[in-house]
Amino acid sequence: MSTATSNFVDPHAETLKTLSSVFGEGVFSQSRFRDNLRLFVPPSRLIELLTALKTRCGFGLLAELGGADYLGYPGRTRSRFEVHYVLRNLETAEMIVVKAGVDDPDPTLPSAVPLWPGADWMEREVFDMFGVRFAGHPDLRRILMPDEFVAYPLRKDYPLRGRGERHNFPKLTRGES
Amino acid sequence: MPASLLDEPELETEAKQATWTLNFGPQHPATHTTLRLILELDGERIVKATPDIGYLHSGFEKLGEHLNFNQYVTVADRKNYISPPMNEVAWHHTVEKLMGIELTPRCQYIRVIIGELSRISDHLLCTGAAALDLGAFTAFLYAFNLREQIYDIYEEMSGYRFHPGYTRVGGVLYDFNDRVLGRIRTFMDNFQAVYSDMSKLLFRNRIFLDRMRGVGVLSKADAIAYSCTGPVARGSGVTFDIRKDAPYLAYPELDFEVPYCTEGDCWARFMVRMEEMQQSHHILEQALAKLPGGPVNLPIADKLNLPDKLTTYNSMEGLIQHFELVMPNRGFETPVDEVYAAIESPNGELGYYLIADGSEFGWRVRTRPPSFIHFSVFPHLIKGYMLADVVAILGSLSIIAAELDR
């Protein structure tokens, strides 16, 4: 008889149960694709959700943090920028993706550095490439581009070959350096 | 040893001296690549280190939005130029997860083989260069000589020596032939001799031990908090390995162990890498013995993979399929969705966050590079140690400049 029944076991069942007992309904929405479980959360509740995942559900490792620009993405209704946090539970090898969206006039998210110091450079990179600010970050500066750079290169409205910023870089001569 | 020097009272009670700033790199002989460190020194002791990246300005992630999934493999190659095939495997692993493609058994084994070869190649350079930086030149020569044989394998299997560009969506460029397998066997026969030469030179080398032990100590809790993965985390006692804990390709069918240390110093990271080479050799032996027959690419009827040259030139279906994939405004369709997939690369978790918009071009190709994360830990590891320890700690983290500045 066991062959006929579905033997699908949801690896995230325990986590979702814990989260729903903490948050109830309506704080985050979820979607699944392949083996990724994604939780979409409003920026105001982001840190709360990450903290709950870290302390109550055992997601100790912030494996990855990155941003994306959805300007002109087919069928897009949510906010323009989204930042994703990939968390891993080192005991059970469970992986979960948390996503938070922000919009253009003032794209600001709370910083995850107090939770994971490893988020430091990754948040700086998102800021450098997309212009998404992280409130509470200890040292939010550009990391890949030079400090004089004014644009955000990975935004969709930034052309592949640039807008000529590189020609305006200050030139240091050997005498001044 | 420097750790104990710190505790000596005369250093602490000395009158506060003015610190001085030293630019270490770019292109310092011991940084190997284009790394720049701004060190604030009190005498020879490091008070503060500020890593400065952004010297290459490669723009790999922007390129990912303008190259299709097959073309981008040449860019993925160049992210970690010490072990290119591993990057290819990571990239196409993500694309295939997005498309929901199941590879043929032979292709899965071939990808395991090229992945483990590049792991050995990466660790050989890392351990050899760590020895070189600390004065043990001969061990480096042994390691580099063995790496040449891995390059020979790349050349034989793909035609390219440094950046093979070997994987394709749903398969690989060419199947392994007997000459490739012969070269892999020759390499594996030579490996143990070189490994034992290196271990004889280094494992009981007094200078090497003293420069590595107790230097750059990273605790287990810190390793997790700073998002470290791979040998850096395993040197601190984190046993997580994606090959074991979230298996992919043919790894569940292969028997191997995950080496780890608990000391968390440079020596522990060095030893984890040395032992991982042995495990990779063990995996290679099994993978070669079990290498299944059958096709290496998906059938053309699936309309997903580029047919090989023989099929393209000799059959109408192959020609049509090649045309469909290569011509602009054609190509396969992808789901309008996004996926994160990661593999265990030599340096740690190498992941891609791939957002697709239905076309065969990525909407956003975010790379999760292990070197970038490890370099951010460097200022915390070096604090309080000596100028000479910079080289030891940098070598034990194995930082690749192209991965820093994508």
Task: Label residue B6 by pLDDT band (50, 70, 90).
Answer: very low
What residues of B are in contact with residue A86 (Cβ under 8 Å)?
340, 351, 353, 368
Residue B19 lies in a domain: no
Residue A86, token pair as written in the block: 């990939």
Rounded to whole angstroms, the Cα distance separating B21 from B181 reads: 53
Mean pLDDT of all residues in B329-342: 87
Residue B350 lies in a domain: yes
Query: Is A73 in Cβ contact with B227 (below 8 Å)?
Result: no
Query: Is B340 in Cβ contact with A118 (below 8 Å)?
Result: no
Rounded to whole angstroms, the Cα distance separating A158 from A168 reads: 17
Structural domain harbouring B350: 50-405
Stated pTM of the model: 0.90
User: Given B226, B227, B355, which is nearest A68 (Cβ)?
Assistant: B355
Query: Is A120 in Cβ contact with B97 (below 8 Å)?
Result: no
Residue B336 lies in a domain: yes
Rounded to whole angstroms, the Cα distance separating B70 from B119 reads: 23
Terminal CA-CA length for chain B: 37
Least Cα distance to B234 among B209, B203, B258 occurs for B258
To the nearest whole angstrom, how far is the Cα of A23 from the nearest Cα of chain B? 25
Least Cα distance to B348 among B251, B238, B268, B191 occurs for B238
Rounded to whole angstroms, the Cα distance separating B65 from A72 reads: 13
Per residue in A16-37, pLDDT tens?
Answer: 888 888 888 778 888 888 888 9
> Does residue B5 belong to the interface with chain A, where contact is any CB pair within 8 Å?
no
Q: Please, are residues B280 and B344 in contact by the beta-carbon 8 Å criterion?
A: no
Question: Is the pLDDT score of A3 beyond 80?
Answer: no
Number of structural domains in chain B:
1
Q: Which residue of A has its CA nearest to B63?
A: A160
User: Given A62, A146, A154, which is nearest B227 (Cβ)?
Assistant: A62
Find the CATH number of the domain harbouring B370. 1.10.645.10
Query: Is A75 in Cβ contact with B342 (below 8 Å)?
Result: no
Residue B371 lies in a domain: yes
> Does residue B6 belong to the interface with chain A, where contact is any CB pair within 8 Å?
no
Rounded to whole angstroms, the Cα distance separating A104 from B171 reads: 41
Three-class DSSP category at B260: coil
Size of interface A-B (CB pairs under 8 A): 105
Query: Is A64 in Cβ contact with B353 (below 8 Å)?
Result: yes
Q: ipTM exceeding 0.90?
A: no
Per residue in B119-174, pLDDT tens?
Answer: 999 999 999 999 998 888 999 999 999 999 999 999 999 888 889 889 988 888 88
Phi, psi at A46, each rounded to 5°: -60, -55
User: Given B66, B336, B372, which is nearest A121 (Cβ)?
Assistant: B372
User: Given A69, A97, A143, which is nearest B54 (Cβ)?
Assistant: A143
Task: Label residue A150 by pLDDT band (50, 70, 90).
Answer: confident
Three-class DSSP category at A118: coil
Q: Which of A33-37, B2-6, B204-208, B306-310 has the lowest mean pLDDT?
A: B2-6
Q: Which residues from A are below 8 Å from B when comparing CB atoms?
A: 33-34, 36, 60-64, 66-70, 73-75, 84, 86, 88, 90, 93, 95, 97, 116-122, 125, 129, 143-146, 153-154, 160
Give the residue from A32, A37, A144 with the most B CB atoms within 10 Å of its CB, the best one to mutate: A144
Query: Is A64 in Cβ contact with B225 (below 8 Å)?
Result: no
Per residue in A101-138, pLDDT tens?
Answer: 998 888 999 999 999 999 999 999 999 999 999 999 99
Burial label, A134 (beta-carbon count in 10 A; 0-12, 13-18, 19+) = buried
Residues 301-320 of B with CB under 8 A from A: none
Per residue in B32-53, pLDDT tens?
Answer: 778 888 999 988 899 989 988 8
> Does residue B48 belong to the interface with chain A, where contact is any CB pair within 8 Å?
no
User: Given B62, B335, B349, which is nearest A154 (Cβ)?
Assistant: B62
pLDDT for position B2: 45
User: Given B98, B226, B238, which is nearest A118 (Cβ)?
Assistant: B226
Beta strands in chain A (DSSP E): 29-33, 36-41, 61-69, 81-88, 95-102, 108-110, 133-135
Domain annotation for chain A: domains and CATH numbers:
25-176 (3.30.460.80)
Residue burial B252-268, b: 16+ Cβ < 10 Å; e: rest: eebebebbbbebbbbbb
Residues 116-145 of B with CB under 8 A from A: none
> Does residue B376 belong to the interface with chain A, where contact is any CB pair within 8 Å?
yes
Residue B392 lies in a domain: yes
To the nearest whole angstrom, how far is the Cα of B68 from the nearest Cα of chain A? 15
To the nearest whole angstrom, how far is the Cα of A154 from the nearest Cα of chain B? 6
pLDDT for position B5: 41
Parallel, antiparallel or unpaired: strands A108-110 and A133-135: parallel
Query: Is A66 in Cβ contact with B238 (below 8 Å)?
Result: no
Rounded to whole angstroms, the Cα distance separating B232 from B370 reads: 10
pLDDT for position B11: 47
Parallel, antiparallel or unpaired: strands A36-41 and A95-102: parallel
To the nearest whole angstrom, how far is the Cα of A114 from the nearest Cα of chain B? 10
Structure-token match 């030179």, residue found: B201
* CB count in 10 Å sphere of residue B40: 14
What residues of B are in contact with residue A97 (Cβ under 8 Å)?
340
Residues 169-208 of B with CB under 8 A from A: none
